[in-house]
């Protein structure tokens, strides 16, 4: 099953790369469950994460991934393995 990944608007290039790898990429207006929420910890406002209160499957959870200073392969690894990171 395809993983659904929410990606911040300022990460358009990353969104295209993930879509090219078979992920379903959505934005903060998506009205369904997501497997991962990607944000740029250096350029983002954490208020962006508030948009996802209603789209996290509480049985499975969603991994938050700070994409700052990470390559595509590291991000994919985090999505696939649900590698959790501190928010700060």
What tens digit of pLDDT does each residue of 9-37 get? Answer: 889 999 999 999 999 999 877 878 888 98
For residue 29, being part of any structural domain is answered with yes
| Burial letters 66-88, b for 16+ CB under 10 A, else e | bbeebeeeebbebbeeeeeeeee
Which residues constitute the domain of residue 43?
A: 4-67
For residue 82, being part of any structural domain is answered with no
The answer to whether 20 and 13 have CB atoms below 8 angstroms apart is no
For residue 42, being part of any structural domain is answered with yes
For residue 86, being part of any structural domain is answered with no
For residue 84, being part of any structural domain is answered with no
Please give the tally of structural domains in the chain. 1
C-alpha–C-alpha distance, residues 20 and 18, integer Å: 5
pTM above 0.85, yes or no: no
For residue 77, being part of any structural domain is answered with no
């Amino acid at each position: 099953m395809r993983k659904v990944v929410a990606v911040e608007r300022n990460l358009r290039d990353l969104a295209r790369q993930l879509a090219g790898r078979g992920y379903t990429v959505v934005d903060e207006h998506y009205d369904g469950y997501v497997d991962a929420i990607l944000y740029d910890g250096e350029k983002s406002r954490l208020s962006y994460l508030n948009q996802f209160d209603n789209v996290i499957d509480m049985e499975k959870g969603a991994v938050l991934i700070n994409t700052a200073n990470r390559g595509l392969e590291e991000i994919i690894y985090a999505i696939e393995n649900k590698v959790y990171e501190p928010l700060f």
